[in-house]
């Protein structure tokens, strides 16, 4: 039986920092196994999901200017 990814993520977020970092590294490395076509398809599906959430009013947009301002503020 397959577990819900949200449940797995919630459980993983309870791990100590080092364990989360190791898990994140393993997950990122596993993505290297995807072909370019699989990777493109995954991003297309995610983009469509995010757009649908935006259109449904479940998430807000952020202007590029605001995003870059926030990133610059984080750096120093």
Contact 19, 28 (CB under 8 A): no
- The three-state secondary structure class of 51 is helix
Residue % of the chain over a pLDDT of 90: 76
Contact 50, 61 (CB under 8 A): no
Residue 8 pLDDT: 92
Contact 36, 44 (CB under 8 A): no
Residue 1 pLDDT: 64
Assess whether pLDDT exceeds 70 at residue 31.
yes
Assess whether pLDDT exceeds 80 at residue 59.
yes
């Amino acid at each position: 039986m397959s577990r819900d990814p949200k449940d797995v993520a919630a459980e993983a977020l309870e791990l100590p920092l080092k364990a989360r970092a190791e898990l994140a590294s393993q997950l990122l490395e596993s993505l290297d196994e995807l072909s370019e076509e699989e990777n493109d398809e995954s991003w297309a599906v995610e983009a469509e999901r995010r757009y649908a959430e935006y259109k449904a009013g479940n998430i807000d947009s952020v202007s590029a200017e605001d995003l870059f301002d926030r990133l610059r503020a984080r750096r120093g």
